[in-house]
Structure 1
Amino acid sequence: MDSCDEDRHFTLTVPRLALREPMLLNSILALASRYDALRRSVPPDLEAIQYNQKSIEWLIASFSKPPSTYGSELLAAVVMTRSYEECDFEADISHLHLSGTKDLLAYDKVAQIASRGGLAEAACWVHLRQAIYAYLVRRRPVDRHINAFQNLAAFRRTDDSSYANQIVYHFARTLRLLFHSSRSKERLDTEDTWASLQTDIDGWFSNKPLSFSPVFASSPNGPQFPALVMLSSPPGNMI
Structure 2
Amino acid sequence: MGAQEQTYRHLKCDEHRPKCSRCEKRELECIRGVNIRFRHELNPRNLQADILDVPADVPPQVPPQIYIENPQWPLRDLEQAKLMRHYIDNIAPFLDLCDLKRHFALVVPHRAASCPPLLNAIFAASARHLSRVAGAEAWIADNYHSECLTSLIPLLNDSAALKDENLLAAMIILRQHEEFESPHSGTGAQSHLLGTHIFMGAQERSAVSGGLRRAAFWVGLRMELFFAFLNSRSIHPSLELCNVDRSLDPADDCKWANRMVAHCAEALRYCFGDGEHSVGKYMDLVQYCSDWMAYKPPSFTPIYYKVPADDELFPEIWMNGQVAGTGMLHYRLTKILLTAHSPKIPRLGPGQRAALHEADEEIKNDVLTICGIAQSNECPPYFVKACMAITLAGDKFTVRREQEALLRVMQRGSELAWPTMTTVRDLKKAWGWQEESLD
- TM-score range with shorter-chain normalisation? 0.7 to 0.9
Deviation at 1:34, TM superposition (A): 0.6
What is the CA–CA distance in structure 2 between the aligned matches of 1:132 and 1:193, rounded to whole Å? 20
Deviation at 1:15, TM superposition (A): 0.9
Q: Cα 1:204–1:15, aligned 2, differ >3 Å: closer, same or farther?
A: same
Q: Tell me if 1:149 matches 2:212.
A: no
Name the structure 2 match of 1:206: 294
Q: Tell me if 1:12 matches 2:106.
A: yes
Verify the 8 A CA contact 1:62 1:74 in the aligned structure 2. Answer: no
Verify the 8 A CA contact 2:300 2:324 in the aligned structure 1. Answer: yes
SS of corresponding position for 1:112: coil
1:60-103 deviation line (CA, Å, top 9, x unaligned): 2433433466221121111111111222249x723432x32222
Select which of 102, 108, 124 maps to 2:197.
102
Verify the 8 A CA contact 1:117 1:153 in the aligned structure 2. Answer: no
Letter paired with 1:96: H
Verify the 8 A CA contact 1:23 1:59 in the aligned structure 2. Answer: yes
SS of corresponding position for 1:208: coil
Q: Tell me if 1:130 matches 2:218.
A: no
SS of corresponding position for 2:205: helix
SS of corresponding position for 1:93: coil
Select which of 139, 148, 157 maps to 1:46.
139
* Rg larger in structure: 2
Verify the 8 A CA contact 1:214 1:228 in the aligned structure 2. Answer: yes
Name the structure 2 match of 1:88: 181
Query: Comparing 60-69 with 133-142, which one deviates more in the overlay?
Result: 60-69
TM-score by length of 2: 0.47
Aligned-pair RMSD on alpha carbons? 2.5
- What are the within-5 Å matches in structure 2 for residues 189-200 of structure 1? 189-200=277-288
Letter paired with 1:118: G
What is the CA–CA distance in structure 1 between the aligned matches of 2:100 and 2:324, rounded to whole Å? 11
Larger RCO, structure (CA 8 Å, separation 6 or more): 1
Structure 1: give runs of 5+ residues left out of the alignment: none
- What are the within-5 Å matches in structure 2 for residues 30-69 of structure 1? 30-43=124-137, 45-67=138-160
Structure 2: give runs of 5+ residues left out of the alignment: 1-94, 330-439
Name the structure 2 match of 1:236: 325
Q: Tell me if 1:25 matches 2:129.
A: no
SS of corresponding position for 2:121: helix
Verify the 8 A CA contact 1:144 1:176 in the aligned structure 2. Answer: no
What fraction of aligned residue pairs are identical, expressed as a percent?
A: 28
SS of corresponding position for 2:204: helix
Q: Tell me if 1:111 matches 2:204.
A: yes
- What are the within-5 Å matches in structure 2 for residues 168-207 of structure 1? 168-178=261-271, 180=272, 186-207=274-295
Q: Cα 1:157–1:126, aligned 2, differ >3 Å: closer, same or farther?
A: farther
Query: Comparing 34-43 with 11-20, which one deviates more in the overlay?
Result: 34-43
Letter paired with 2:317: L
Q: Cα 1:235–1:187, aligned 2, differ >3 Å: closer, same or farther?
A: closer
What is the CA–CA distance in structure 2 between the aligned matches of 1:111 and 1:174, rounded to whole Å? 19
1:91-142 deviation line (CA, Å, top 9, x unaligned): x723432x322222333xx223212122112222222221222123233432
What is the CA–CA distance in structure 1 between the aligned matches of 2:216 and 2:250, rounded to whole Å? 17
What is the CA–CA distance in structure 2 between the aligned matches of 1:114 and 1:153, rounded to whole Å? 12
Q: Cα 1:153–1:170, aligned 2, differ >3 Å: closer, same or farther?
A: closer
Q: Cα 1:48–1:124, aligned 2, differ >3 Å: closer, same or farther?
A: same
Q: Which has the higher helix share?
A: 1
